[in-house]
Amino acid sequence: MRDVALRAGVSTMTVSRVLSDPGKVSAEVRQRVMAAIEAAGYVPNRLAGSLSSRHSRVIGLIVPSLENSLFAPTIQGISEVLRRNGYQLMVADCGGSDAEEEALVTAFLAQRVAGLVLHNTRHTAAARAMIRRAGIPVVETGTLTPKPLDMVVSYSNHEASRAMTLHLHRLGYRRIGFVSLPAAGNNRALARQGGYRAALAEAGLPPEPRLMLEMPPGLPSGAEAVVRLAEGPVPADAIFFAGDVLAVGALFECQRRGWAVPGRVGIAAFDNIEILGQMVPPITTLRLPRAEIGRRAAEILLDRIQGRSAGPVRVDLGFEIIQRAST
């Protein structure tokens, strides 16, 4: 910048102003400075800028996994909004571990991020304390948690799960199986289990442990689950797969076995991944506002950072049942 200032015959302050608030500089000087910037091939140093101004334009995002394509639309949504506003995105994955999340929060705070997006809604006490001390805004996106750190943008996993279960009941199913990811340490899976149980109670169906399964993520898990529940001691007439791509794996297994869907067993999924609608038969599922969650999360974060809002924010973006031929 010193170089640019010399070339343009002005002080570094003037160069700085041309970059940050061109209106404050006379047109003639601005021209000269711009030319000097061009000639010098000058790229401003935001590290120095942030250090001096005590404001950074970087947002940190921590997701349980970067590999899982479920997070992709959310990340894209965040990225989109940040980019439009001249902000940068730092990402990391914590593999669902609270301790790892804490370490990543520390690393991000050390980078002096201006805000955080956390997909998880469980955090270590140390992580909470650090974030509070740092005084930066935080958005949680994983589920509409009742006691957020700060702000939440999501949908209710409990309500979505409950709604789908009631929907299946309304369709006439009476032995509704439920398959989720392992619930230990996963607030989203827990909420979904809760919603399923609540719906059974409302519908007057007795809870049946042999109709509930927890499986690791992946297509083979879904395949295994459909067999266990449809051929089990209490054969399910429909199965609600509340996690990942389990429903896809299940339908493939039915195709391999020649089982009619929904004749032999109905199948419902939890997420609107594109493939569900293309399968034969297309699978009943929930439409979740994945991309919208990302966009809104970024927006309210920026609102807060730029002083356009204050106080707690809780945005429920809802969900929608998509009834298709599989149930």
Contacts with a second copy, residue ranges (CB under 8 A): 41, 43-48, 50-51, 56, 58, 65-69, 72-73, 75-76, 79, 83, 88-93, 106-112, 129-130, 133-134, 218-220, 223, 245, 248-249, 252, 255-256, 274-275, 278-280
What one-letter code names the amino acid at 164?
M
Residue choice 28, 258, 278, 312 for contact with DNA (CB under 7 A): 28
Give me the phi and psi of 284, to 5 degrees please.
-60, 135
Distance CA 120, CA 187 (A): 8
Choosing among DNA, a second copy, none, which partner's interface includes residue 11 (Cβ < 5 to 8 Å by kind)?
A: DNA
Comparing CB distances to DNA, the nearer of 49 and 235 is 49
Residue choice 55, 132, 170, 174 for contact with DNA (CB under 7 A): 55
Task: Count how many residues are written for the chain.
Answer: 327
Verify binding: residue 52, DNA, rule CB under 7 A: yes
Closest by CA to 281, choosing from 327, 213, 318, is 327
Number of Cα atoms under 13 Å in the Cβ half of residue 209:
0
Which residue, chain included where needed, has tokens 């994955």?
A: 93
What Cα–Cα distance (Å) separates residue 220 from each residue in 14, 212, 249, 311? 63, 17, 6, 45
Comparing CB distances to a second copy, the nearer of 99 and 275 is 275
Comparing CB distances to DNA, the nearer of 55 and 170 is 55
Distance CA 148, CA 139 (A): 8
Verify binding: residue 114, DNA, rule CB under 7 A: no
Distance CA 205, CA 185 (A): 28
Choosing among a second copy, DNA, none, which partner's interface includes residue 306 (Cβ < 5 to 8 Å by kind)?
A: none
* CA-based end-to-end distance of the chain: 65
Least separation, in Å, of the C-beta of 132 and a second copy?
Answer: 10
Structure tokens at 123: 């955090």
Least separation, in Å, of the C-beta of 220 and DNA?
Answer: 47
Comparing CB distances to a second copy, the nearer of 70 and 211 is 70
Verify binding: residue 1, DNA, rule CB under 7 A: yes
Verify binding: residue 54, DNA, rule CB under 7 A: yes
Are 121 and 143 within 8 A, CB to CB?
yes
Least separation, in Å, of the C-beta of 307 and DNA?
Answer: 13
Verify binding: residue 49, DNA, rule CB under 7 A: yes
Neighbours of 21 (CB within 10 A): 9
Choosing among a second copy, DNA, none, which partner's interface includes residue 1 (Cβ < 5 to 8 Å by kind)?
A: DNA
State the Cα angle at 191 between 133 and 213, rounded to 5°: 130
Number of Cα atoms under 13 Å in the Cβ half of residue 95:
4
Choosing among DNA, a second copy, none, which partner's interface includes residue 190 (Cβ < 5 to 8 Å by kind)?
A: none
Verify binding: residue 24, DNA, rule CB under 7 A: yes
Verify binding: residue 2, DNA, rule CB under 7 A: yes
Residue choice 35, 39, 53, 257 for contact with DNA (CB under 7 A): 53
In terms of Cβ atoms closer than 10 Å to its own Cβ (0-12, 13-18, 19+), residue 187 is middle
Binding segment toward DNA, per CB under 7 A, in 44-52, 183-191, 250-258, 287-295: 44-52
Would you tell me which residues interact with DNA (CB under 7 A)? 1-2, 9-14, 16-17, 19-20, 24-26, 28-30, 42, 44-45, 48-49, 51-55
